[in-house]
Amino acid sequence: MDERRPRLALQAVLPADLAAACGIDLTDARRIVSLAHRLGELPARAPATVRRAALDAARAVGEVRTLALVERRASAEDPFVKYAFRLEDGAMVESVRIPLERPGRYSACVSSQVGCALACAFCATGRMGLTRNLEAWEIVEQVRLIRRDLGATVGGGARVHGVLFQGMGEPLANADRVIQAIRVLSEPSAQAIDMRNITVCTAGLPSGIRRLAAEVPAVRLGLSLGSVRPGRRRQLMPIDGAHPLEEVLAAAGEHARATGHAPMWAYTLLADQNDTDEDAASLAALARGFAAQHGISPRISLIPYNAIAASDAPLPSPGGAEDQRAAEERRAAADPFVRSPRLAAFRAVLTAAGVGSIVRYSGGGDVGAACGQLARSQAQVEAQRSGGRGASSRPRAAPDAAVGAPSTPPRPV
C-alpha cells in the first residue's frame, strides 16, 4: 500500500508553504513558484538564480500539473474568447477571457466547480448538476493558461488584470479552494493580480460571504439576485429556500462594513418574470434600505438574459403551423426564458427612485461565452474524450475577434 504523501501542485502553493514543506530558503521558494507559473514546469537544470539543491527539494515534494485546452472559440462579435479545459479525470470546465476598457488588459472569468448544485433556472451550469469541486491548482491553472494564450495571440504586454469567479459553479460552495486560489493569484511571485481586481460572485451563501470578509477582505463581492420578491426568487433560485435573501443581504452588509467595498448586485432581466415596474421599485427600495443600514450603496448591474438552450435558435421556416407549434414547444421546454424588452423602462424606474445602475455588456454570446451560458454537456465531454474536433493541449494562435469587431466592449450605459 502506497503511504506516500500527496505531491504538492506547485502552481497552487504559496512560497512560505513550499519553503516549509521542503526545508528550503524563502527566496528560493519564491523563485521556484515563479518558474512554475512562468514556464508551466520545473526546468531540468537549475537557473543561475535558484540553487540546485532547492530545485531538487521542490521537485521531490511537488510537481506542476496542467489542464488540456480542448477548445478555444473567439467571438466574431467582440474580443471575448471562450476556453474549454479538460481535467485529469476527463471532466471539463469552461473559462472566458474578457477584454477591459484599457487596451492590453483582460479579466479571466473562471470556473470553481464541475457543474453546480444550486440549479438557478436562468443559468446553463445549473442544469448540469454538481460533479465535483475544483482543486485550487485547477482554478489557478485556468488563469495561467489564459495568460499564456494572451502572450501567444495578443502579445504586446497584454496581461490578465483581474479575475472573476463567475464561471461554472458556486465559488462559495468550494470556499477553501477558492480562497487558496485567490491567495496564490495575488502572490507577487505567482500571478501578481491585485486582490482588489478579483471578484467572487455568489448566489447567496452567507457563511462564505463572511469568510471572504475575514480571510481575503480586499476581494470584491458580487451577488446574484434573480428577483427581490421572495416567492419569485425561490422559483428562479432554489437556494433562497435555504438562505432567504434577507439573510444573504445581512451577510453582504457585514462584508461591506468590514471591507469598505460596495457589493455588486447582479440582476438578470427575464421577460414576464422579474421585469415589471413593481419589480424595479422593489429593487430600488431594497437598495436604498441597504445603503441606509450599512452606509454603502450597492452597485446594481442589470444583465440582459442570454439564451442557455442549444435549441434556442431561429425556428425553421418550412413546415405547416403544426410543425412550427411543435418546434416552439420544444424550444420553450428547453429554455422557458426570453430576454426582457423592458430594460430601459426598468432602469428608468430605478433612476427615478434615485438608484443608479449599469447595464452589463455580456459579450461572446455567439460562442456561448456570455453570462449564464457556460456549461459542458455530457455529449460534448464524450466527443472531446474521443478526439473530437478542436482538441488541443496547447493554445492555438487565433484572432481575438473577427475583422471589424470592436477592440474593446462598449462602456456600460
| Residues 219 and 95 occupy one common structural domain | yes
- Asked if 95 and 139 touch (Cβ cutoff 8 Å), the reply is no
pLDDT at 374: 86
Residue 90, in any domain of the structure: yes
The H or E element that residue 97 is part of is strand 92-99
| Residues 196 and 183 occupy one common structural domain | yes
- Integer-rounded Cα Rg, in Å, for the chain is 22
| Residues 192 and 223 occupy one common structural domain | yes
| Residues 76 and 192 occupy one common structural domain | yes
Give the pLDDT confidence of 113-145 residue by residue, as tens digits: 999 999 999 999 998 999 999 999 999 999 999
User: CA 255: distance to chain centroid?
Assistant: 20
Residue in this structure with the C-alpha cell 421577460, named with its chain if needed: 271
Residue stretches of the chain with pLDDT short of 50: 1-3, 310-318, 388-413
Residue 325, in any domain of the structure: no
Residue 345, in any domain of the structure: no
| Residues 158 and 102 occupy one common structural domain | yes
Residue 287, in any domain of the structure: no
Distant-in-sequence, close-in-space partners of 314: CB < 8 Å, separation ≥ 6 = none
Write down which residue in 41, 63, 85 finishes a domain. Answer: 63
pLDDT at 403: 26
| Residues 105 and 35 occupy one common structural domain | no
What span, in angstroms and rounded, lies between the C-alpha atoms of 31 and 203?
38
pLDDT at 372: 87
Residue 286, in any domain of the structure: no
- The CATH number assigned to the domain holding 241 equals 3.20.20.70
Residue 397, in any domain of the structure: no
Residue 186 CA: distances (Å) to CA of 135, 162, 173, 367 = 17, 10, 21, 30
Residue 410, in any domain of the structure: no
**Which residue in 25, 29, 27, 31 sits closest to 8, CA to CA?**
29
Residue 93, in any domain of the structure: yes
Amino acid at the residue 118: L
Give catalytic residue positions: 94, 371
| Residues 32 and 101 occupy one common structural domain | no
| Residues 240 and 202 occupy one common structural domain | yes
Long-range contacts of 247-250 (CB under 8 A, 24+ apart): 247/206, 248/204, 248/205, 248/206, 248/209, 248/223, 249/223, 249/286, 249/290, 250/206
pLDDT at 353: 98
Amino acid at the residue 45: R
pLDDT at 4: 59
Domain interval for residue 16 = 8-63
| Residues 232 and 369 occupy one common structural domain | yes
| Residues 50 and 74 occupy one common structural domain | no
| Residues 147 and 16 occupy one common structural domain | no
| Residues 40 and 143 occupy one common structural domain | no
pLDDT at 369: 86
- Asked if 198 and 186 touch (Cβ cutoff 8 Å), the reply is yes
pLDDT at 384: 52
pLDDT at 386: 57
pLDDT at 155: 82
Domains contained in the chain, number: 2
**What 8-state DSSP symbol labels residue 363?**
-
